[in-house]
Structure 1
Amino acid sequence: MKIIIHRGAGETGGNCIELVSGRSRILLDYGAPPYSPQGEQQQTTLNIPGLYDDKAADPILAILVSHTHADHYGALLARPVNPRIKVFMSEIMEDVIRITAKMPSEPQKLTADIHYFRKGHKFIVGGFVITPFLMDHTAAESFAFLIEAGRKKVIYTGDYREHGIKAAAFKQLLAAKPGPIDALITEGTQAGIEKGPAEPEIMAHIEANLKGRDGPLFVMCAGQDIGLLTSLTQLAKNTRRFLVVDGYAALLLERLKHLAEKQGVELKAPSLETEFLRIVRNKATQRIFQLSEYMETFRRMRPRMYGWDWIRDNLDRLIIPVRANAQHWVGEEIKDFTKATLIYSDWETYSEEEGMDETLQWFRARGMAEVPTPSSHHAYFSTIRKLVENKKPRYIIPINTAHQDKFTQTFGKRAKILNNGEEFTLD
């Protein structure tokens, strides 16, 4: 089996890895590269033989999408791939991507031959046998893949951690007994951090900092950070506050609940039935109203919608997650931030969503009290080490990381550091 990292080696975001076995070829993720703090982005699409045409001697059979952060799927929206390529994701993931693509002023379309997978259910693509494993990450769903072909076995982790609300998923991966692993392709976004607090500890830290404080709580939170939204719902309940989201987040939460129930899964995530949830009438909410396919959901959202008069009258009791460009609607309606508190992670770069860093700087410039938290959406190095010790791969291939040296220092010759475009053949 050959492994080729087309993008994501020695850098964070934009993952795209090719696996080749005999005449079978598949891609693991096809992400858009991250934005810089200046809002600049690299070329989104890649020139991979067979990705956009039929000229390759051996066609690309499939693209496996690990989760719904744009740095893992975003290039699929930039240009339709060859229609002969099957794109595998979960049903929830497809819904999240399609909703997210419709939100900008210039909507995008997911034009691809979509096929669903489910955790633990093997499927076959050409010479590959693939098993998805649900992982702990901030996206609605995130998966690792066990890929078997030609007597070789590879695990691709996607993005993961073990300290979030789905920590049990990581334990299930550790408990799996797939046999000898030839290569572990693991993300290392925050491999520079050996160990840190779990999400419940972080929320307890935030709650302790809120004691004796009056005023609104603004929390840096990407629109798809379902894990953080779930934790903030519990925080609202514990502190007798309201969690105020926009229509985009509310629609994602409701669709997530609906599709999970369809599969017989009960989620901890908030929904329209959550007592402390409120929906603000802003441009994102108005945009949802224009999506005719979600009119029934929007109808059920109406009783939870509140205007700016209610927001201003109850401001001291509100927790408001803010995502990219939130400063535009917050700044129009709220002028006094003297009693406000800003929660953000000083361990995150906020580069996964365009405009997030600009939003953070705007809120910091308002002069409100700040509570930086050591929160992380990705695996600490102790978690990566635990996975390596558990699976005992012959090779560890880091991706989505600027900390390649940490892998060589820890794992020695077993750490295989690849450059973008470099081929590595499993012997």
Structure 2
Amino acid sequence: MYIKIHRGTTQIGGNLIEIGTAQTRILFDAGANLPPLDEKGSKDSIEIEGLTCGKPAFDWVFLSHHHNDHCGLVDRILPGIPILSGEETHRILDVISDFTDSPRPEIYLHFKSGQPIQLDDIRVTPIGVDHSAVDAHMFLIQAEGKSVLYTGDYRVTAQIPAQIRQLLGGQKLDVLISEGTNIRVEKQSSNTPQNEKQVEQRAFELMKQHGGTVFVLCSSTNEERIRAMHRAAKAAGRAVCEDLFLTAVRTQREENTLRFVAHYTSEKETPRTYAYFQRCFERRELLSAGSLAKLPGEKVIFVRTSMLPCLKNYLACRPDEKNLLIYSIWQGYRETRPVNDLLDFCDSYGIDVADLHCSGHAYRNAIQELIGVLNPQALIPIHCEAQDREQFKALHPNCLMVRDGERWEV
């Protein structure tokens, strides 16, 4: 059994983890590079023989979750290589592809947490984890009497160590491949929410303090964050407003939610998006920005950076309101042009901005706890900045600084 990390040992995102035997080759995650914050040169040109070019040489591909840095290369995987994902991951990727008019992913099989899959001589068990993406998984890979755990992205472990020990059946974990996005940070500061419950409480306080409209900038696929905002809005007596994309990407449909159209759709020009519009329209669920603005009562409106024309129309109908934007995404996005444009827009319209976010990734103390409980024979750090890899050495006596493209025998 071997491990070959094609990419991910010295960067956050772009994960491409190969684990195999002489008989079977499996890729875990087909991640695209995170785009540079200045948005220049963002095309990911990586080629892997047998995966994206040449003759198919991989037997299976597993996707840990739907974030682009873990599945963004899925449309470049050679035909004939089966792709596996969680059912909800597949559905969300389909919705995103419809709204972006990109190829739909060809998913061969849906897996479920805790249910092992035997693929030739390798046994793979997906393990559901808490992350800022619904349907995220770790993978326990077992072959030739060896066991490897690849964490994917995770925030807290809860019952996971006990579940892994049960799956190992008394055997020792040989290798832990752990993400380290926040490895340098011991824990969140006391002023930063530690979990979604604390995000909810602070959001409620902000919604009660402001009398106008509260806009929320967060990932449309961060379901736990969206539910927290819904609960906060309900407690504050505010109506929640979701646009067509957010309505389509979510499975949960809370009562008393207003739905609106932020972008033009056409049966001829955007037929895949129009299909979602038509279903909602037939149920009389959709409003225009102008109609939404004219409705009485205080609102919470989920927004994205592409909605500036829609927001202009909305605010034109409510010129005297004092409004608030809750900024609920990673601070680094403030350096990107789209987020900068939105924040400049808020400044020009006198919209206050409040930061309210908690990370979807484990902090150093949580990573250390997982390592301590599982006590693997070897540790391989991935999904962290190059200068932060050394931080892992203090957490395990056998920390392997594997390089991209290097094959390591388990």
Task: Give the TM-score of the pair, scaled to structure 2.
Answer: 0.86
SS at match of 2:284: helix
Partner of 1:277: 257
Task: Return 5+ residue gaps in structure 1 as ranges.
Answer: 163-169, 255-269
Alignment of 1:208-247 (within 5 A): 208-247=205-244
Alignment of 1:15-414 (within 5 A): 15-52=15-52, 55=55, 59-77=57-75, 79=76, 81-104=77-100, 107-112=101-106, 114-162=108-156, 170-176=157-163, 177=165, 178=168, 179-196=171-188, 197-254=194-251, 270-271=252-253, 274-283=254-263, 290-291=271-272, 298-299=279-280, 302-314=283-295, 317-335=298-316, 336=319, 339-345=322-328, 348-350=331-333, 357-358=339-340, 360-363=342-345, 365-366=347-348, 367-402=350-385, 403-408=388-393, 410-414=394-398
TM-aligned CA distance change 1:139 to 1:198, over 3 Å = same
TM-aligned CA distance change 1:314 to 1:422, over 3 Å = farther
Q: Whole-Å Cα distance in 1 between the matches of residues 17 and 353 of structure 2? A: 39
Q: Whole-Å Cα distance in 2 between the matches of residues 329 and 295 of structure 1? A: 19
Do the aligned residues in 2 keep the contact of 1:33 with 1:44 (CA within 8 Å)? yes
Q: Whole-Å Cα distance in 1 between the matches of residues 392 and 345 of structure 2? A: 36
TM-aligned CA distance change 1:172 to 1:401, over 3 Å = same
1:52 deviates by 3.6
Q: Whole-Å Cα distance in 2 between the matches of residues 187 and 39 of structure 1? A: 24
1:66 deviates by 0.4
Do the aligned residues in 1 keep the contact of 2:85 with 2:107 (CA within 8 Å)? no
Do the aligned residues in 1 keep the contact of 2:218 with 2:329 (CA within 8 Å)? no
TM-aligned CA distance change 1:380 to 1:195, over 3 Å = same
Residue correspondences, number: 393
Do the aligned residues in 1 keep the contact of 2:140 with 2:150 (CA within 8 Å)? yes
Q: Whole-Å Cα distance in 2 between the matches of residues 16 and 315 of structure 1? A: 50
- Deviation string 1:207-260 (CA, Å, 9 cap, x unpaired) is 223333211112221121111111111011111112211111111213xxxxxx
Structure number with larger C-alpha Rg: 2
Alignment of 1:409-424 (within 5 A): 410-424=394-408
Q: Whole-Å Cα distance in 1 between the matches of residues 74 and 347 of structure 2? A: 36
Q: Whole-Å Cα distance in 2 between the matches of residues 412 and 292 of structure 1? A: 49
Q: Whole-Å Cα distance in 1 between the matches of residues 148 and 255 of structure 2? A: 44
Q: Whole-Å Cα distance in 2 between the matches of residues 68 and 221 of structure 1? A: 16
Do the aligned residues in 2 keep the contact of 1:277 with 1:304 (CA within 8 Å)? no
Q: What percent identity do the matched residue pairs reach?
A: 25
Do the aligned residues in 1 keep the contact of 2:280 with 2:286 (CA within 8 Å)? no
Do the aligned residues in 2 keep the contact of 1:18 with 1:26 (CA within 8 Å)? yes
TM-aligned CA distance change 1:368 to 1:53, over 3 Å = closer
* 2:8 maps to 1:8: yes
Coordinate RMSD, CA, aligned: 2.8
Partner of 1:262: none
Q: Whole-Å Cα distance in 2 between the matches of residues 203 and 113 of structure 1? A: 35
Task: Give the TM-score of the pair, scaled to structure 1.
Answer: 0.83
Letter matched to residue 120 of structure 1: G
Q: Which moved more, 1:356-365 or 1:240-249?
A: 356-365
1:111 deviates by 4.9
Q: Which moved more, 1:6-15 or 1:64-73?
A: 6-15
1:412 deviates by 4.6
Q: Which moved more, 1:412-421 or 1:11-20?
A: 412-421
Q: Which moved more, 1:137-146 or 1:362-371?
A: 362-371
Do the aligned residues in 1 keep the contact of 2:217 with 2:329 (CA within 8 Å)? no
